[in-house]
C-alpha cells in the first residue's frame, strides 16, 4: 500500500517524523470511529 511504503520510508529518514505521522493517523482513526456514533 502507498501509506505503508511512505511510513517505511519515513522510518528510514526520521523516526520522529514517522512517530508524528503515526500519531496523527491514529487521531484521525479515532475521530472517524467516534464521529458518526
25/15: higher pLDDT: 25
Q: For 17-34, how does the pLDDT look when each residue is reduced to its tens digit (9 = 90+)? A: 667 888 888 888 888 888
Q: How many domains does the chain have?
A: 1
Domain that holds residue 22: 2-34
Residues 6+ apart with CB under 8 A from 5: none
Q: Return the residue matching grid coordinates 500500500.
A: 1
Residue 4 pLDDT: 73
The confidence band for 16, taking pLDDT boundaries of 50, 70 and 90, is low
pLDDT bin (cut points 50, 70, 90) of residue 14 is low
Amino acid at each position: 500500500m502507498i501509506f505503508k511504503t511512505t511510513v517505511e520510508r519515513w522510518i528510514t529518514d526520521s523516526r520522529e517524523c514517522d512517530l508524528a505521522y503515526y500519531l496523527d493517523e491514529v487521531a484521525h482513526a479515532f475521530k472517524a470511529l467516534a464521529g458518526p456514533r
